[in-house]
Amino acid sequence: MIYKVHHLHCGTMCPICAPLFGQKGLKAEIVCHCLLIETDQGLVLVDTGLGIQDYLHTKQRLGAIVAKIGAIIPDLNLTAIRQIQQLGFKSSDVKHILVSHLDFDHAGGISDFPNATIHILSTEFNAARSLSFQNKLRYRTQQFKDHRYWNFIEPQQGETWFNFSKVQAFKLFNDEILMIPLLGHTAGHCGIAIKQQNNWMLFCGDAYYSHLELDPKHKLPSLEITERLFAFDNLQRIQTLHHIQQLAQTEPQIDIICAHDPIELKRYQS
């Protein structure tokens, strides 16, 4: 049973060239929007943002390129573990972590919760271990390589949820939390759907970057360049985005959010 969903701000990056991230001005504001779900099975964290070690040892953990141009705001209070403690919980209360994908700005906090079980698509974990040149730029295996507890999900089969297929339901959470393959950005990228009182919330990770993209009539050519550059499979990414846009147009009662849009985050934290 789901009791409450908290919206956490687990990191901010301000690289130069805001239009490349669908924003105006010089510097972008890229937040790490994560979710903390109170359930009868303990706390569930959806993505982890940047972790304590990412802030304390940025260059060693994230590499020289990210440390130089990522423009990460150094603030340990912007870690999931600190915010969870501020809510009155202990880090050990986090029993499960659902990861949209293992990019450094989504997986950094895994090491702060050594006893939690990580739920992830097997294709994503395998991609992170097969370090091609592109993968070496996006994955930082030291963030999660020593973690002991994993639940690898095989997305070959599954249920249908609205216009999505191969959806994986968690019996542990009475099918109120779903893992939905949203492929393209990475090999095993997924979204997380959470049942609320009267509707659903769909956390899309990096399947899109700006709330403006939910309207297919809104064109953001500079952002399109960025998303194409970051994509593992761009055609698959575009197909996934079309499915999300269709859901937004036909099911307006569903709350759709992504991981990096500051406007979406403020909507839930205000």
Q: How many CB atoms lie within 10 A of CB 267?
A: 13
Nearest CA-CA partner of 96 in 211, 238, 192, 163: 192
Mean pLDDT of 255-267: 97
pLDDT digits over 131-140, tens only?
A: 777 777 789 9
Average pLDDT, whole number, for the chain?
95
Mean pLDDT of 172-190: 97
Provide the pLDDT for residue 136: 76
pLDDT digits over 127-169, tens only?
A: 998 877 777 778 999 999 999 999 999 988 899 999 999 999 9
Q: How many CB atoms lie within 10 A of CB 33?
A: 26
Question: Domain count of the chain?
Answer: 1
Provide the pLDDT for residue 131: 73
Q: Residues 178, 146: contact at Cβ < 8 Å?
A: no
Its domain, for residue 228, covers 2-269
Q: Give the CATH number for residue 151.
A: 3.60.15.10
**CA dist., res. 39 & res. 108, Å (int):** 23
Q: Band the pLDDT of 246: cuts 50, 70, 90.
A: very high
Mean pLDDT of 5-18: 96
Mean pLDDT of 72-89: 97
Mean pLDDT of 40-55: 97
Specify the amino acid at residue 88: G
Provide the pLDDT for residue 159: 93
**CA dist., res. 237 & res. 226, Å (int):** 12
Contacts of 31 (CB under 8 A, 6+ apart): 9, 11, 12, 260, 261, 262, 265
Q: Give yes or no for residue 229 having a pLDDT over 80.
A: yes
Provide the pLDDT for residue 137: 76
Mean pLDDT of 249-256: 96
Q: Band the pLDDT of 270: cuts 50, 70, 90.
A: low
Q: Give yes or no for residue 22 having a pLDDT over 90.
A: yes
